[in-house]
């Protein structure tokens, strides 16, 4: 959609929205664009300044890399500890957790991704797992 400032032959100014510039041209040519004041179809586009939002200054931009609350700080610290002290196995989490539990892989701390039904099955089978309150780095913006 595009908004045009328009003016009729009697100098009445008004605005109207159109699907595109081409849509305005075809409607005007067909006589379907009329002045709301006098009804004249002798309408032309008038000069118009686009509405542009001012640029944000550094003072108004939030710093998203710094935790904003104590809860965010605690979550960031938990993430740091998990990432420092365990191995990310990604989508292989369920398989690797079972291998460790069965003794087929070396005992170590791991974290990764699993569907809810897969995590429930691990718990039912006695494999010690717990959900983390954050997404892996690959899943964040």
Q: How many distinct structural domains can be found in the chain?
A: 2
- Judgement on whether residues 78 and 126 belong to the same structural domain of the protein: yes
Residue 21's domain comprises 2-45
Residue 58 lies in a domain: no
Q: What is the pLDDT along the chain (141 residues), one digit of tens a residue?
A: 888 999 999 999 999 999 998 999 999 999 999 999 999 999 999 877 666 777 766 666 777 778 888 899 999 999 999 999 999 999 999 999 999 999 999 999 999 999 999 999 999 999 999 999 988 776 555
Asked if residue 59 is part of any domain, the answer here is no
Same domain, 39 and 86: no
Determine, yes or no, domain membership for 60. Answer: no
Question: What's this model's pTM, rounded to 2 decimal places?
Answer: 0.53
- Record the tokens describing residue 132, joined without a space: 């983390």
- Report if residue 86 sits inside a domain: yes
The answer for residues whose C-beta is within 8 angstroms of residue 18's C-beta and 6 or more apart is 1, 2, 3, 4, 24, 27
């Amino acid at each position: 959609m595009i908004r045009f400032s328009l003016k009729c032959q009697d100098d009445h100014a008004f605005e109207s929205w159109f699907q595109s510039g081409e849509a305005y041209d075809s409607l005007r040519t067909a006589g379907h664009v009329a002045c709301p004041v006098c009804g004249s179809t002798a309408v032309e586009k008038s000069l118009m300044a686009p509405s542009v939002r001012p640029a944000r200054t550094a003072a108004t931009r939030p710093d998203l890399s710094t935790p904003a609350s104590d809860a965010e700080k605690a979550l960031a610290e938990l993430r740091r500890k998990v990432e420092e002290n365990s191995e990310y196995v990604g989508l292989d989490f369920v398989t690797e957790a079972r291998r460790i539990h069965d003794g087929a892989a070396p005992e170590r701390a791991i974290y990764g991704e699993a569907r809810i039904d897969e995590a429930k099955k691990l718990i039912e089978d006695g494999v010690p797992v717990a959900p983390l309150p954050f997404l892996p780095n690959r899943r964040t913006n």
